[in-house]
Amino acid sequence: MVKYSEEFKLKVVKEYLEGSLGCVSLAKKHGIPNHSQIQRWVRAYEAFGKDGLRRKQSKQVFSVQFKIDVLHFMKQTGASYQDTAISFKLSNPSLIAKWNRTFSKEGIEGLEEKVKGRPPMPKNRRAKPAKQEKALTREQQLERENELLRLENAYLKKLRAFQENPDAFLAKHKQHWHSGSKKKDSD
C-alpha cells in the first residue's frame, strides 16, 4: 500500500479545489491508482482541514460501545463510511469498514481490543507449569450465556427505541458517541 505524504495530499486537494482538473485527471497526472482516494482526501480536508490529511502517529483505542454506536448509526441512517467517519470525527473511514466486517463475522466479541504480541516470560521459569484450566462448569457456562443474552437484549432495546423515534434517540445518546472513545494523544 502506497503511503502519501501530508504535503502531497494537500497539494492534490488544493489542485482539485481550484477546479482546474477532476479526480480522474488528477489521479492520472500524479500516478494515484484510484481516483476515489482523491475524493476521500477532499472530503476529509473539507471536514477537518489539514488534520484530516494527517496520518495518526499513535494508535487510537475505541470502546466496544463506541464501535457499536458507529455501526448502528451507519446502518440506521444509510450513511456511507466516509459520512459516518465525518459524523464521528474519525479521519479513517476504512476503520469503520473493518469494524463492520469484523462485526459481521465475529459479532460483538470481535470488536473487543485483542492483546498483541508474545506473552511475557514467567517470573520463575524453573517452577512446574500450573495445571491447565478445566473447561467451564455448567454454572459458568450458564452465567456466560446469561451475560450474552443481557447484552443482546440491551442492544435490541436501543435498536427498537431508535427505530421508533430516531431524532429523540440520537439527541439523547449524542454525548455517548464521542465520550465512549479512549483516544491517545496524536502529537
Q: What is the DSSP letter of 22?
A: -
| Spatial distance between the Cα atoms of 86 and 79, rounded to a whole number of angstroms | 10
What pLDDT score does 187 carry? 44
CB under 8 Å to 125, separation ≥6 — which residues? Answer: none
What pLDDT score does 40 carry? 80
Contact 89, 74 (CB under 8 A): no
CB under 8 Å to 18, separation ≥6 — which residues? Answer: none
What pLDDT score does 128 carry? 61
Query: 42: part of which helix (H) or strand (E)?
Result: helix 35-48
In terms of Cα–Cα distance, which of 62, 61, 46 is closest to 14?
A: 46
The mean pLDDT values, 10 residues at a time, for the chain of 187 residues are: 74 82 82 81 78 68 86 88 83 84 87 81 68 75 93 90 78 58 50
What pLDDT score does 2 carry? 53
| Spatial distance between the Cα atoms of 18 and 136, rounded to a whole number of angstroms | 64
What pLDDT score does 147 carry? 94
| Spatial distance between the Cα atoms of 122 and 128, rounded to a whole number of angstroms | 11
Q: What is the DSSP letter of 184?
A: P
| Spatial distance between the Cα atoms of 151 and 102, rounded to a whole number of angstroms | 18
Q: Which three cell numbers stand for residue 58?
A: 499513535
Q: What are phi and psi of 33, to 5 degrees?
A: -65, -30
